[in-house]
Amino acid sequence: MQLNIYQYIFLFVAVLLVSYAITPKIRDFARKANILDYPGGRKLQASPIAYLGGFAIIIPITFGSLFILFSSINLDSKRELYLGLILPALFISIVGLIDDIFELKPWPRFLSQTVVGVITSFMLYSTGAGIKVFENQVLNSCATIFWVVSVVNALNFIDNMDGLATGISIVASLALFVLSYMNGQYLVAALSLAISAACFGFLYWNKRPASIYLGDSGALYLGFLLAAISIRIDLQNESALIRALVLIFILAIPVIDTTQVIISRILKGKSPFQGGRDHISHLLLNLRLSQSLVMFILISASILFATVAILLAEVI
Q: Are 148 and 227 in contact (CB under 8 A)?
A: yes
* pLDDT band, very low/low/confident/very high, at 207 (cuts 50, 70, 90): very high
- Alpha-carbon distance of 152 to 1, in angstroms, equals 31
- The verdict on residue 305 lying in a domain is no
* pLDDT band, very low/low/confident/very high, at 19 (cuts 50, 70, 90): very high
pLDDT (0 to 100) of residue 213: 95
- The verdict on residue 144 lying in a domain is yes
pLDDT tens per residue across span 37-58: 887 655 666 688 998 999 999 9
Q: Exposed, middle or buried: residue 213 (CB in 10 Å: 0-12, 13-18, 19+)?
A: buried
pTM of the model: 0.92
Residue 171 is part of which domain span? Answer: 5-237
pLDDT (0 to 100) of residue 68: 65
- The verdict on residue 29 lying in a domain is yes
- The verdict on residue 116 lying in a domain is yes
pLDDT (0 to 100) of residue 13: 95
Domains contained in the chain, number: 1
- The verdict on residue 45 lying in a domain is yes
pLDDT tens per residue across span 129-151: 677 777 788 888 888 889 998 99
105 in the Ramachandran plot: left (φ > 0), alpha (ψ -120 to 50) or beta? beta
- The verdict on residue 50 lying in a domain is yes
pLDDT (0 to 100) of residue 198: 97
pLDDT tens per residue across span 68-85: 666 656 666 667 777 778
Residue 305 or residue 135, greater confidence: 305
- The verdict on residue 253 lying in a domain is no
Residue 99 or residue 68, greater confidence: 99
- Alpha-carbon distance of 2 to 228, in angstroms, equals 21
Q: Are 3 and 186 in contact (CB under 8 A)?
A: yes
Asked whether the predicted pLDDT for residue 266 surpasses 80, the reply is yes
Buried b (16+ CB within 10 A) or exposed e, 234-269: ebeeeeeeebebbbbbbbbbbbbbbeebbeebeeee
**CB neighbourhood size of 297 (10 A):** 15
pLDDT (0 to 100) of residue 137: 82
Asked whether the predicted pLDDT for residue 117 surpasses 70, the reply is yes
Total number of residues shown for the chain: 316
Q: Report the percentage of the chain scoring pLDDT > 90.
A: 53
* pLDDT band, very low/low/confident/very high, at 170 (cuts 50, 70, 90): very high
- The verdict on residue 73 lying in a domain is yes
Q: Are 253 and 168 in contact (CB under 8 A)?
A: yes
Q: Exposed, middle or buried: residue 6 (CB in 10 Å: 0-12, 13-18, 19+)?
A: exposed
